[in-house]
Structure 1
Amino acid sequence: MSFTERFDLALPLIQAPMAGVSTPRMAAAVCEAGGLGSIAVGATDAAGARAMIEDVRGRTARAFNVNLFAHGTARADPVREAAWLEWLAPRFAEFGAEPPAQLRTIYKSFADDPDMLALLIELAPPVVSFHFGLPPAEALAALRARGIYLMATATSLAEARAIEAAGIDAVVAQGIEAGGHRGVFDPNAPDDALGSFALTRLLVREAGLPVIAAGGIMDGAGIAAARNLGAVAAQLGTAFIACPESAADDGYRAALTGPAAYHTVLTPLISGRPARALPNRFTALAAPYGGRTPPDYPIAYDAGKALHAAARARGEHRFGAHWAGQGAPLARNMPAAELVQTLRREFEGCGG
């Protein structure tokens, strides 16, 4: 049975899970239109995840994806964190605010969250996917025993082989063009920064799993190209940010339709992990940060969120985490269901 047949998809499309942007309403709309909708629960706790999963199920009976973060446990380093806050202090002062007295680990890795595992075992969403790595084998076995289809992100052949060895069902090939956080297992290791199509073709030929292409794909022609390379589906994230069902705020939406969309950048400054975003005042801090190392993810993100909140309270939106891929200028403002229908027409027009 093919991937599209398994999930009864009218279009080989996954709406990418984007923490802080994806919503149950968006996921359900994508599902109802014939794609595979996603929610991202990595930045919430088990109670928050329950509410989101139940919200999706209240809107659609179709299959959907629940995405989790499987990053390594954050290591607190008070000296490094204090230095980071000291460096950011003048930016807080610009908005009449003080930086946090100390930084927190604002959410757990799935690997460290037994409550989240218990919730997923209880609710058994149709698809569960992982970003930043893999959870322990016993967690995967428990999810598999509930009949859950498992996916994980890879940015390299080595990561894809680890995913295959873990018994995951499909691999998401995330190219360097992708918006949001790089899914690298080890952010301190060398990154070959493979593009989406080169990585997709490499994994199709050399990995033993169904491959989902991700990164920079914004229209039906891109989905058709991914399929021609051997991918079973394409995952699109930035394409859905402008949809009214997304949780992107007005500042984010305005930036996405402005000149910044043509010049996305990778930065670790906002969260502590490399992520592709629209350039703004936060990403521009890269030059003067003087070789300081951001605190571990997601500890650094505590500072980033606090600075964004302080700036936004004074009407300045250019310190937000405006994640977006290199295809950002191709984003379209239309309801999610209409976008899926448009993508399907484009895909079919390309022979898909």
Structure 2
Amino acid sequence: MSLIEQLGLTAPTIQAPMAGVSTPRMAAAICNAGALGSIAVGATNADGAGRMIAETRALTDRPFNVNHFVHAAPRRDKIVETAWLHALTLQFEAFGATPPAGLAAIYQSFADDDAMLSALLANAPRVVSFHFGLPDAERIRALKQTGCLLLASATNLDEALACKTAGVDAIVAQGWEAGGHRGMLDPDDEDSRLGTLALTRLLVMRSGLPVIAAGGIMDGRGVRAALDLGAIAAQLGTAFIACPESAADAGYRAALSSDAAHHTTMTCAVSGRPARCLRNRFTEWGEQTTAVIPDYPVAYDAGKALNAAAKAAGETGFGAQWAGQGAPLARAMPAADLIAALIEEMRA
């Protein structure tokens, strides 16, 4: 039985778990429409994850995906962090604010979060996915014993083979076009920048695991193209940002419907790891600075503080406005209606 059949999906579509966009309400609406909804818990703790899982389950009785960040511990360097805050000083001052006195690693990796593991084992969601890396064998074994199906992101064949060795059930082939953070297992490695089409076909032919295509897919014809390449499903993230159930704020939605959608860019300045987002004032500043960027998620602490200061002054151009290259094709409609449209477009 295929993974799609195991999950009982009527639409081979998975909602990408974009932190800051995904909500239990949106995930449930997508699940109830026949696709696989997702919640992202990498930006919260075990208690927060438990609440999100409970809220999603209260809205749907169908399977959904719970996504985790599995990043390496950041390398802390006081000199680098101080210099980064100094470089941002003028940006803060433009909004009548000052940079924080210091920075923190604001997100804990699932790799060493025992409380999060316990919460997952207690709640046993049907699908668990990993981004940035892979948990150790003991954690994977424990999750599989509860019946969880495991997904992990890969940006090249070597990463896909590492996922297979680890015991993952299916691979999310994240093309260069995709919005949000790159799922590279080691951000210090050279990025091969494979597009979704080439990467999907390569992993279908060589990985030995079911493949889910991700990156630049915005409509049913894109989903059909992914299936024609041999993928079992397509993962869409940017397509759901404009849905009323998403957590995107007004500034993010306005940027998505502006000319910025035609000019997405890959940047490390916002969070410390490469991520594709709408070009805005923060990304433009990041292209010009020569300061060394602290590791993820330490740099993200500064980015969030700057965005908060800017928003308080009425400026929305410093947010983490993640979006893929298909952003101009985003449609503002309820998530369930979007799933229905995707199904109709696939049939057409």
Q: TM-score scaled to structure 1, two decimals?
A: 0.98
Within-5 A mapping of 1:1-352:
1-290=1-290, 292-349=291-348
CA distance in 2, matches of 1:172, 1:288: 33
Distance, in Å, in 1 between the alignment partners of 2:215 and 2:298 is 26
Return the alpha-carbon distance in structure 2 between the equivalents of residues 12 and 281 of structure 1: 37
* Deviation of 1:74 (Å): 1.3
How many residues were matched structurally? 348
Residue 4 of structure 1 and its aligned partner are, at CA, apart by 2.0
Give the distance between the partners of 1:197 and 1:135, measured in 2 at CA. 27
One-letter code aligned to 2:345: E
What's the CA shift string for 1:44-93, capped at 9, x where partnerless? 00010000000000000000000000010112111100000000000000
1:30 and 1:75 map into 2 onto residues whose CA distance is 38
State the alpha-carbon separation in 1 of the partners of residues 31 and 147 from structure 2: 20
DSSP-derived class of the 2:308 partner: helix
Give the drift of 1:2. 1.7
The DSSP-based 3-state class of the residue aligned with 1:198 is helix
Structure 2: state its 5+ residue gaps. Answer: none
**Counterpart-to-counterpart distance in 2, 1:306 and 1:15:** 28
| 2:322 counterpart letter in structure 1 | W
CA shift for structure 1 position 236: 0.1
How far did 1:286 drift? 2.7
Does the 8 Å contact 1:73/1:112 carry over to 2? no
Alpha-carbon distance between aligned partners in 1 of 2:255 and 2:267, rounded to the nearest angstrom: 17
Cα distance in 1 between the residues matched to 2:49 and 2:167: 24
CA distance in 2, matches of 1:203, 1:26: 29
Contact residue 32 and residue 60 of structure 1 kept, 8 A: yes
**What's the secondary structure of 1:282's corresponding residue?**
helix
Structure 1: segments with no counterpart, 5+ residues: none
Which whole-Å CA distance do the structure 2 matches of 1:269 and 1:118 have between them? Answer: 33
- The alignment partner of 1:186 has SS state of coil
CA distance in structure 2 between the aligned counterparts of 1:300 and 1:277, rounded to whole angstroms:
16
CA displacement at 1:307 relative to structure 2: 0.2
**Offset of residue 103 of structure 1:** 0.3
